[in-house]
């Protein structure tokens, strides 16, 4: 046995326990850090070859393990910009150097420029709705921009499209005379028609109401052995409500230049399902707008008339609040109750989160051991859900860390005793010369 070898073994044991104590110190220091993931120390033996009756003591090697994949407890807060991830995934954030990194720390607040920044100074990244509904870039961070929730002043959005759906009563009478149909804008229109109205918005956010008239124009005779594709047809004509006649018993005749602002045909089969038509464009000569209306959701069944319209656009209204849903969509909530999507927050993940490289600020970067970063929207491809008004706490078990501290202290002391004993033996050998 080598006395020096036993002393070196004791030193390796003390170093290993010192590393263990360092991880304990880090964990206890960050027990209240949002999204912090605890670290632990594992040990492996170092063996030196021995021969005959001589044993060569080796040593111990320590390595640090991360528990990044372990979920921390989620607690709720009063701030809508506090975000927590329930499940797998990381927020994509950007530091001062512009490099995207990953984090679970969602304690975001608005800075002086309106960007969402967490306590470590990292900006939350997302996809903007400026060019329509965003698509995720699955293998990179291209297209991501800082999420900015500064929405000051009034915002108005002109209507460009809409959806109108409902039911047309299959028992309605056919109006054969074209001159009495609403599309002719007669002074005395037929009574066999159904009227619905819908509100849209012009470029200044003003409300513009349109009147929709549905008139049955044809129906097939007794069904032949092979039913025709089109069993019945309806005409839909649209007018500006502001141009309706006043003082009479009906809204006709409208004063809109050129008559109706939209005209289309809806064709139904024998089962009341629409087989053609349904796309009607409103061309408003006053506002200069064209609104593409989708009426394919109408049916013709033996039930009462019913209809509901949902155009896009928005009246001039100030922003009241900013909300974030579980899919990661950031909405501006306006005073009139409407919502406008601003950004969509993606999540990123790797094959082995526990192998990520930890950096200052409670952020991580991918490496060869963790696997490549894959990006997706929340609740897709195994990614978790974003919870607004909540924070994920650290996953540190304080009682366990205090136990680890005591064990580390005892083990360090025991190793020091081995070293001290080896030193005493060396003193005996030196004193033999005397």
Q: What is the 3-state secondary structure (H, E, C) of the chain?
A: CCHHHHHHHHHHHHHHHHHHHHHHHHHHHCCCCCCCCCEEEEEEEECCCCECCECCCCEEEEEEEECCCCCCCEEECCCCCEEEEECCCEEEEECCCCCEEEECCCECEECCCCEEECCCCCEEEEEECCCCCCCCCCCCCCCCEECECCCCCEEEECCCEEEEEEEEECCCCCCCCHHHCHHHCCCCCCCCCEEEEEEEECCCCCEEEEEEEEEEEEECCCCCCCCCCCCEEEEEEEEEHHHCCCCCCCCCCCCCCCCCCEEEEEEECCCCEEEEECEEEEECCCCCCEEEEEEEEEEEECCCCEEEEEECCEEEEEEEEEEECCCCEEEEEECCCCEEEEEECCEEECCCHHHCEEECCCEEECCCCCCCCEEECCCCCCCCEEEECEEECCCCCHHHHHHHHHHHHHHHHHHHHHHHHHHHHHHHHHHHCC
All structural domains of the chain = 3-67+395-432 (no CATH), 79-150+345-392 (no CATH), 159-312 (2.60.98.20)
Q: Are 408 and 60 in contact (CB under 8 A)?
A: no
Spell out the per-residue pLDDT of the chain, length 434, in tens. 577 778 888 888 889 889 999 999 999 999 999 999 999 998 888 787 777 677 777 788 888 899 999 999 999 999 989 999 999 999 999 998 999 999 999 999 999 888 999 999 999 999 999 888 898 988 889 999 999 988 766 778 899 999 999 999 999 999 999 999 999 999 889 999 999 999 999 999 899 999 999 999 999 876 666 567 888 999 999 999 999 998 878 899 999 888 899 999 999 998 999 999 999 999 999 999 999 999 999 999 999 999 998 898 888 877 788 889 999 999 988 877 778 889 999 999 999 999 999 999 999 999 999 999 999 999 998 999 999 999 999 999 999 999 999 999 998 899 888 888 888 888 887 788 66
Best CA proximity match to 83, nearest among 387, 395, 393: 387
Q: What is the pLDDT of residue 420?
A: 85
**Position of tokens 């120390």?**
41
Sign of CA dihedral 31, 354, 357, 91: negative
Cα gap 348→352, rounded to integer Å: 12
Tokens standing for residue 263: 């005209």
Helix axes of 398-432 and 3-29: crossing angle, nearest 10 degrees: 160
Terminal-residue alpha carbon distance, the chain: 24
Q: What is the pLDDT of residue 153?
A: 65
Q: What is the pLDDT of residue 11?
A: 86
pTM over 0.75: no
How many Cα atoms occupy the beta-carbon half-sphere of 229 within 13 Å? 4
């Amino acid at each position: 046995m080598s006395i020096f070898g036993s002393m070196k073994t004791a030193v390796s044991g003390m170093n290993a326990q010192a590393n263990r104590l360092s991880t304990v110190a880090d964990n206890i220091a960050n027990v209240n850090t949002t999204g912090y993931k605890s670290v632990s120390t594992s040990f492996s033996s170092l063996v030196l070859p021995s021969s005959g009756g001589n044993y060569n003591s080796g040593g111990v090697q320590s390595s640090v393990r991360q528990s990044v994949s372990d979920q921390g407890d989620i607690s709720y807060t009063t701030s809508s910009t506090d975000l927590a991830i329930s499940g797998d995934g990381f927020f994509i954030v950007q530091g001062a150097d512009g490099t995207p990194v990953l984090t679970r720390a969602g304690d975001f607040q608005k800075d002086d420029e309106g960007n969402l920044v967490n306590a470590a100074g990292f900006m939350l990244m997302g996809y903007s709705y400026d060019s329509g509904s965003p698509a995720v870039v699955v293998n990179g961070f291209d297209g991501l921009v800082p999420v900015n929730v500064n929405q000051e002043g009034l915002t108005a959005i002109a209507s460009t499209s809409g959806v109108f759906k409902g039911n047309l009563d299959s028992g309605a009478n056919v109006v054969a005379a074209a001159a009495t149909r609403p599309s002719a804008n007669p002074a005395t229109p037929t009574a066999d028609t159904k009227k619905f109205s819908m509100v849209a918005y012009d470029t200044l956010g003003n409300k513009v109401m349109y009147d929709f008239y549905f008139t049955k124009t044809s129906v097939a005779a007794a069904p032949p052995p092979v039913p025709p594709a089109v069993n019945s047809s309806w005409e839909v004509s649209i007018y500006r409500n502001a141009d309706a006649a006043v003082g009479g018993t009906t809204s006709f005749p409208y004063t809109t230049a050129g008559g109706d602002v939209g005209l289309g045909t809806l064709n139904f089969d024998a089962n009341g399902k629409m087989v053609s038509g349904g796309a009607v464009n409103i061309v408003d000569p006053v506002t200069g707008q064209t609104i593409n209306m989708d009426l394919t959701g109408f049916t013709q069944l033996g039930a009462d008339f019913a209809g509901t319209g949902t155009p896009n656009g928005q009246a001039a209204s100030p922003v009241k609040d900013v909300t974030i849903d579980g899919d990661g969509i950031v909405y501006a909530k306006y005073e009139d109750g409407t919502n406008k999507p601003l950004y969509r927050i993606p999540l990123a993940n790797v094959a082995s989160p526990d192998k990520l490289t930890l950096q200052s600020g409670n952020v991580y970067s991918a490496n060869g051991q963790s696997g490549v970063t894959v990006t997706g929207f929340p609740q897709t491809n195994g990614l978790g859900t974003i919870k607004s008004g909540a924070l994920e706490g650290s996953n540190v078990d304080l009682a366990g860390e205090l136990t680890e501290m005591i064990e580390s202290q005892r083990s360090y002391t025991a190793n020091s005793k081995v070293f001290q004993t080896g030193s005493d033996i060396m003193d005996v050998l030196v004193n033999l010369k005397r």
